[in-house]
Chain A
Amino acid sequence: MATATAPPVVVERLPGGRSLTPLSWDGVMPILMIAPSVILIAVFVYGFIGRTAFTSLTAWRGVVPDYTFVGLRNYERLFQTEKFQADIVNTIHFTAFFLAGCLILGLGAAVLLDQKLRGSILFQNIFMFPLAISFIVTGTVWRWIFNPNYGLNVLFHNLHLDFLQSGWLTSPNTALNSLTIAAVWQMSGFCMAMFLAGLRGIPEELREAARVDGASEFQAFRYVVFPLLRPITLSAVIILGHISLKIFDLVFVMTFGGPGYSTDMPGLNMFITTFRQDLFARGAAIATVLLLMVALLIVPYLVWTLRGETER
C-alpha cells in the first residue's frame, strides 16, 4: 500500500541505553557531519535574510552601497507606489485562480486516472511532463500561442468559436488570466500526482463499505474519499501557494509585468528595482515583504507537519 503519510521518524539510542556524550567521537560525529550544511544554511539563508532586512532600512541607491539608516522610509514609499499596490492585487488574483485551476484540474485528472482505465500510464505521463521543463520554455511557447494574430484566436476562428477570442497578453484586462493559464498548464500535474497518490492510499475496503451501505459512486466519493484527501489538499495548496507568491520566471519571459502594471509581481518588481534601476534598498524592502508573505504560509505548515511527525 503506497503511503500518503510521512514515514515514521526513528529515534536512535545506542544499544545498552548509553546516551551520546559530547566528548566521545560518536557523540560528536553526527554533529560534525551536518555541520558544514548547517553553517552554510545559517549564513546563506538566515544571515542573508537578516542582511537583506538591514539593507531595506538603508538609503542605498546606485552602484555604490550607502548604509545610512532611514528606518522604514523605503517601505512607506514602496507601499505608496502604484506599481507595488498593483503587485499585491495581482498576487492575490493570480494565486487564487492559479490554485483553483491546479486543484480542479489536478483532482479531476487524478479521479479519471484512478478509474484504472487502459492507457492510464500514458495519460499520466502526458499530464506531468510540463513539470520537467523550465518556466522559461513554457513562457516562450505560450506567448506565441497567445499571439492575437497567429495563435489561439485563429484556432477559435477556424472552429467557429469566435466569442472565445481575446487580446490575451496584449490587453490589460486579460493578460493576468492568460498568464494564469500558462502557469496552471505547467503545475497542475503536480496536483494530479499528489491526489493520485492520495487516492491510491485510500483502502478499497472503505469505498466498498460505502457501496455496500447503498451509497452511489458520487456519494462515496463525496463523503468518504474527499475528506480523506484533506491533508493532501492542504499540502498542495501550501506548496503551490508559495510558488505563486514568488513567481518570477514566467512573468519575466511572458509579459515583463505589462501591459501597464497588469501582470507585475513582487518577485519581478524586486529584480527590476534592484538590478535594472540600482535601487538596492527599495529592492531589499520588496524582498523582505515577499519573504514575510511566504513565511506566513510556510511556517505554520512546517510547524504543523513536523509536530505531527514527532508525535508518532
Chain B
Amino acid sequence: MGNERWSRRQFVSRAGKTVGGVVLGLSFADFLAACGASNAPAAGGGKLEIFSWWTAGGEADGLAEMFKIYKKNYAGVEIVNATVAGGAGTNAKAVLKTRMEGGKPPDSFQVHAGQELISTWVKAGKMEPITDVWKSENWDKTIPKDLKDIVSSNGDVWSVPVNVHRGNALWYNKKLLDDNSITPPTTMDEFLSALGKLKSKVPAPLALGSQGNWQVQMLLENNILAAGGPDFYKQVFSGKASFTDANVKQALAWIKSMLSYVNSDHPTLGWDDADKRLINGTSAFNIMGDWAKGYFTAANWVPNKDFGAAPSPGTTGKYVIVCDTFGLPKGAPNRANAINWIKVCGSQEGQAAFNPKKGSIPARTDVPASIFDPIAQQFIAEFKTDALVPSSAHGSATPDAFASGVNDEMGQFVINKDVNKTASNLQKLSDEFLK
C-alpha cells in the first residue's frame, strides 16, 4: 500500500539519520574530549608529560624547579604538568589507574617508593625497569642501598627516589616545653610522662588529626619500630613475623596510652589541623611526617626557636622513609624524554633544587646540607647513619589493599581500644595480603 511503502522508506531514512546523528554526536563529543587530553607531538623535542599530585605550595614550587633544570639541559621539549588535586593523592591514583588501564600512560608519574609501584604496576607488567639508567648514572654511589632495595624487585630497579620524608618525627611547641621544664623526650616512657605533666596545663597535650586514619597507622608503625627494632619491623610488614607478637601489642598499648591525651575531635581533623593546635598553643606535641615542618614555616614559625623536632619516641637511630619516586611506564609516548626526566630526578642538581622547596631531604647523600634549614640538616645527618625502613602507611612497605585495611582497623582501634582483637585482625590482614 502507498502508505506502507512510504513509511518503510521513511523509517529507513529516519533510522539512518538517527544512527548517523548519534554516531556523529558521540564522535564529536569524543573529539572534544580528545582535544582536552592527548597531544600531537610538537616539532623538535616532543613533549614530556609528568603526572603528580603536587598541586600547591612547596611541592608545586619544587616540581617547577626541576622542570627548569630539565629545560636547561634538554631544550625544545614541551613539559606538560599533569596534576590532580585532592585526597592526598587518592584522586590522582584513581585517575592514573584510568589512564594506565586505558593504554594512555603519562611519560612518568609520581609514585611512592616500594609496594605502591611494585605490587600495583610492576606486577601488572606495565612498567619498564630503569636498572640501566641507575647503572649509567652511577647512583649506587650516591643513593643508600637500603633505599635502592625498597625500589627494587626481582633484581631490577623500577623507579628513582627524588626525595625522602621522615615518617617518625615528633614535633613540639618549644615554648610550652621550655615553660614546663620538659626536655624533648627520647623514650616512650619519657614521652608519656611529659604528656602527663602537661595534661593540667594544656587541653590536649598530644594533637591528632585522624581523618582517613592513616595518621594512626603512622603511630602504629613508629611504635612497632620502637618496640621491635628495624629487623622485626621489616619482617612483620613483609608477612614473615606475626602481628600478634608482643612487640606489636606493645605498640598498640602505647597508642592506647597516648589516646588519653589527645583532642576529642580528631576524627574530623586533618594532619594540618592538628599542627594548627601546636601553633595555637592548645597542644604541645604532634607525631607526623616532616611535611609538618612546611606547615609550621608557612605559618612563620622558626625551626628550633618556635618549634622543634625529634625522632618519634623510642626510634632514635631509625628512619622511617616516605619517599616519592618516578618510574618509566611501558608505552610512554615520549620515551627518550621520560628517561631524561628520570636522570634529572636522580641528579644532584635536580634534588638540590627540589628538596629545599618541598621540605624533604634528598635521596642522594652528596647534596650539600647547607642549603637546608636546621631541622632538615639534622635529618640529613641522621639519614646517613640511621637504619632505614619503608613506611607502610605511605605505600612503601606494603601493598595498598593491606595498608587501607590497616587504616580501617586503626580507625576501629581508636574507638574500641582492644589491643588483642586489633592485633589478631591485623594478622588476618597480613595472612590475606602479605603472603
Contacts and interface: CB of A to CB of B under 8 A. Distances in A.
- Direct interface between A and B, CB < 8 A: yes
B27 to A, nearest CB: 19
A63 B120 contact: yes
B401 A260 contact: no
B120 A62 contact: yes
Contacts of A279: 401
B411 A260 contact: yes
Contact of B121 (A63, A82, A261): A63
Interface stretch (B73-81, B93-101, B105-113, B168-176): B93-101
B408 A261 contact: yes
Given A258-B267, A259-B415, A64 B124 contact: yes
Given A277-B400, A278-B400, A63 B97 contact: yes
A236 interface: no
B404 A277 contact: yes
A105 to B, nearest CB: 28
B412 A82 contact: yes
A25 B412 contact: no
B124 A258 contact: no
Contacts of B265: 148-149, 170
A125 B346 CA distance: 63
Contacts of A170: 264-265, 267-268
Nearest to B15: A32
B415 A260 contact: yes
Given A62-B120, A63-B97, A169-B268, A83 B408 contact: yes
Contact of A259 (B267, B425, B432): B267
Given A62-B120, A63-B120, A276 B404 contact: yes
B8 A25 contact: yes
Interface in B400-427: 400-401, 404-405, 408, 411-412, 414-416, 425
Nearest to B8: A25
Interface in A241-282: 258-261, 272, 275-279
B412 A278 contact: no
A172 interface: yes
A200 interface: no
A238 to B, nearest CB: 33
B4 interface: yes
Contact of A63 (B90, B124, B408, B411): B124
A63 B94 CA distance: 12
Nearest to A63: B124
A63 B100 contact: yes
Nearest to B401: A277
Bin the interface of chain A by size: 20 to 34
B125 interface: yes
Contacts, number: 63
A207 interface: no
Contacts of B268: 147-148, 169-170
A276 B90 contact: yes
Contact of B412 (A260, A272, A276): A260
Interface in B86-145: 90, 94, 97, 100-101, 119-121, 123-126
A62 B408 contact: no
Given A63-B124, A170-B265, A170-B268, A276 B94 contact: yes
A252 to B, nearest CB: 12
Nearest to B125: A64
B118 to A, nearest CB: 12
Nearest to A275: B94
Nearest to B97: A63
Contacts of A272: 404
Contacts of B120: 62-63, 278
Given A82-B425, A260-B415, A25 B4 contact: yes
Given A63-B120, A63-B124, A278-B400, A259 B97 contact: no
Nearest to A264: B408
| Centre residue among A148, A169, A259, A275 by max chain B CB count within 10 A | A259
Contact of B411 (A62, A258, A276): A258
Given A25-B4, A259-B415, A260-B414, A63 B400 contact: no
Contacts of A148: 265, 268
B412 A261 contact: yes
A63 B120 CA distance: 7
Contact of A278 (B401, B408, B411, B415): B401
A258 B97 CA distance: 25
B115 to A, nearest CB: 12
Nearest to B413: A260
Interface of A: 25, 61-64, 77, 82-83, 147-149, 169-170, 172, 258-261, 272, 275-279
7 contacts: A61-B401, A63-B101, A83-B408, A258-B211, A259-B411, A277-B405, A279-B401
Given A147-B268, A170-B265, A277-B405, 6 more contacts: A25-B7, A62-B119, A63-B124, A259-B414, A260-B411, A276-B90
In the A-B complex, the 7 residue pairs with the smallest Cβ-Cβ separation, listed nearest first, are A259-B267, A277-B401, A260-B415, A64-B124, A63-B124, A260-B412, A260-B411
